[in-house]
Structure 1
Amino acid sequence: MTLRAVWLHLRLPFSVYLLPVCLFAMTLLPGVSNWWLAVWMLIIIHVLVYPAANTFNSYYDKDEGSVNGLENPPPVDRTLFWVSMGLEALALLGGILINTPFVVFILVYGAFMKAYSHPAIRIKKRPIASWLLISTFQGGFVFLMTYAALHDMSLWELLATPSQIKLWLGVLIAFLNILALYPVTQVYQHAEDAGRGDLTISRLMGVRGTFINAWLCLLASGGCFLAFYEAQWPFWLMLSLLVPGIVYLAVLTYRVWQNPAAANYRAATWMTRLTGWGMNAFFLILLVK
């Protein structure tokens, strides 16, 4: 494989749209005492952990059509597998500079992402299980991972503090957002997934069902955000920043209803961009205010 092909399979630009989960968790802190540590943690997650999972998935899927974050995936070979292993190793080494619980979080995340793609287990073939797995780990788990790293807490210590209502409401919101958007990232892959024998959640729901699910989960997330911010100014600021994404989703839903073929790679990608940029802007405003 060429270096350019490997670079494309890292899908680094898509990591930007997963950034809101970490930024959201950081807003729960009364104030980030060590910004260098926080930035280092974000780099490890978005430049090493996510790309490690992406390249592992790409190696075993060998996609020829558009996939999440990559419109024209280059052919893959064994090189990509070793790139994935190398990125995970670097993430673990980098995590040592943060704390031991963070390293454990990386190991757990990596194990489940491998189970998602590897043919021996391939949770990806099981629509509901894969949907819940990705929503849990890219949503709630990464939220907890960020919060725990900045508090030097283990997962067990977090589980022992159920009284932190906002923490667990944040976990639920992160879970719901991925629950909404993950099937949309599969909606243009139905033919290729069918050819591999993968019954994804989007194939199970159908094109229209995928968009119905997105609206229901996003409405549920919005209700949780309303409770989280107690209907104060942050909620209304967030809503205003998400207007472009909400309008685009409404227009795209209408087009899909008229013609399911409108649910193509570029349309789904623009929806992800608009919602991702809006959420990133919102949480960054809260962090620097």
Structure 2
Amino acid sequence: MTSLFSKSAWLHLRIPFSFLLMPVFLFALAVSSNVSIQNALIVFICLHIFLYPASNGYNSYFDKDEGSIGGLKNPPKVNTSLYYLALIFDLIALLLASFNVTFLIMILLYGLVSKAYSHPKIRLKKYPLGSWFIAGFFQGAFTFIMAYVGINNANAGSILNVELLIAAFLTSLMLWGSYPMTQIYQHEEDSKRGDITLSYKLGILGTFHFVALVFGLSSLGFVWYFNRYYNLSTVFIYLSVMAPVIIYFSYWYLKTRKNLKAADFDHTMKLNFISASCLNLFFIYLYYN
């Protein structure tokens, strides 16, 4: 049992990295009409403290990366204690989710898909388009609906709502736009294992162009959504809050055009942090207004 508390195992859970996925939860919270503070807290802890770290740890165990990974610039070597710690975190997430059957089933499905992403017998990660679509769908629309169900203690039928489904789709579109950027500094590491990611297929500059295109489409979608279901002032606030993301992305793109080595871990993490921070602030505003 002592080995389960090794520094290496806990580092690979990358709990602080959950901050980057927080916008999905906050968006679901913002559009919720029957919020239970207790349920919202349980859902937050279930997702960000246990489910996401369990997925991180499980993926790290099978990837055995030697180079930088999301949230860890210099990852330590993995051992079997990480595998069991990740499973324990998965189990705790399931126990926390047991207050709502639909939420529990969705937590279980998310955990299974995240394992299929990296397990050597399935390894969805090696399929560029498939892994991109699945990661964007499950970390986006699926998690948005999952969080909404848990926060509102709702049943499966409650998600058959046009406004809610549009919001869920936009969440995935946002993730489909940003996901290849998280792979841009791992081309060499991924190709060694035979994982031909979408970013690898697109190339470094191609990844920038693809992300700019899909991010632009998702931004237009959010502008339409907030204008349709909220008001014009919400649109302007959304665009203003997202301005730092566009500024930093443009700066990094121009820097990378001059030197492809600028497409590295540090710049990727800065963009992710700026983007998550801006979105978190906006969805908190949306919740209170």
Category of TM-score, reference length = shorter chain:
over 0.9
Q: 1:278 maps to what in 2?
A: 278
Distance 1:70 1:35 in 2: 32
Distance 1:228 1:74 in 2: 43
Percent identity reads 36
Q: 1:263 maps to what in 2?
A: 263
Structure 1 residue 58, shift from structure 2 partner:
0.2
Structure 1 residue 228, shift from structure 2 partner:
0.8
| Counterpart check, 1:45 vs 2:47 | yes
Instruction: Provide Cα deviations, 1:231-251, integer angstroms capped at 9, x if missing partner.
Output: 611121121112111100011
Distance 1:11 1:184 in 2: 19
TM-score, normalised to structure 2, is 0.94
Q: 2:81 maps to what in 1?
A: 79
Whether the aligned pair in 1 keeps the contact of 2:10 and 2:82 (CA below 8 Å) is no
Secondary structure, counterpart of 1:38 in structure 2: helix
Q: 2:143 maps to what in 1?
A: 142
Whether the aligned pair in 1 keeps the contact of 2:190 and 2:196 (CA below 8 Å) is yes
Instruction: Provide Cα deviations, 1:123-159, integer angstroms capped at 9, x if missing partner.
Output: 100111000110000011000101122333344x256
Whether the aligned pair in 2 keeps the contact of 1:238 and 1:278 (CA below 8 Å) is no
Q: Which runs of 5+ in 2 are unaligned?
A: none
Letter of the aligned partner of 1:140 in structure 2?
A
Structure 1 residue 4, shift from structure 2 partner:
2.1
Q: 1:11 maps to what in 2?
A: 14
Whether the aligned pair in 1 keeps the contact of 2:39 and 2:152 (CA below 8 Å) is no
Q: 1:251 maps to what in 2?
A: 251
Secondary structure, counterpart of 1:64 in structure 2: coil
Q: 1:130 maps to what in 2?
A: 131
Whether the aligned pair in 1 keeps the contact of 2:136 and 2:176 (CA below 8 Å) is yes
Q: 1:190 maps to what in 2?
A: 187
Letter of the aligned partner of 1:260 in structure 2?
L
Distance 2:127 2:263 in 1: 22
Structure 1 residue 100, shift from structure 2 partner:
1.1
| Pairs within 5 Å for 1:1-289 | 3-30=6-33, 32=35, 34-96=36-98, 98-155=99-156, 157-158=157-158, 161=160, 164-230=161-227, 232-289=232-289
Q: Which runs of 5+ in 1 are unaligned?
A: none
Letter of the aligned partner of 1:28 in structure 2?
V
Whether the aligned pair in 2 keeps the contact of 1:169 and 1:224 (CA below 8 Å) is no
Whether the aligned pair in 1 keeps the contact of 2:178 and 2:211 (CA below 8 Å) is yes
TM-score, normalised to structure 1, is 0.94
Distance 1:47 1:150 in 2: 16
Structure 1 residue 30, shift from structure 2 partner:
3.0
Distance 1:35 1:234 in 2: 24
Instruction: Provide Cα deviations, 1:12-36, integer angstroms capped at 9, x if missing partner.
Output: 121111100111111112352x212
Whether the aligned pair in 1 keeps the contact of 2:180 and 2:207 (CA below 8 Å) is yes
What number of residue pairs does the alignment pair up?
283
Distance 1:115 1:52 in 2: 13
Distance 2:266 2:158 in 1: 39
Distance 2:147 2:194 in 1: 35
Structure 1 residue 263, shift from structure 2 partner:
0.5
Considering only aligned residues, what root-mean-square deviation do their CA atoms show, in Å? Answer: 1.4
Instruction: Provide Cα deviations, 1:189-211, integer angstroms capped at 9, x if missing partner.
Output: 01111111110111011111111
Secondary structure, counterpart of 1:71 in structure 2: coil
Whether the aligned pair in 1 keeps the contact of 2:51 and 2:89 (CA below 8 Å) is yes
Structure 1 residue 260, shift from structure 2 partner:
1.5
Whether the aligned pair in 2 keeps the contact of 1:116 and 1:122 (CA below 8 Å) is yes
Whether the aligned pair in 1 keeps the contact of 2:39 and 2:150 (CA below 8 Å) is no
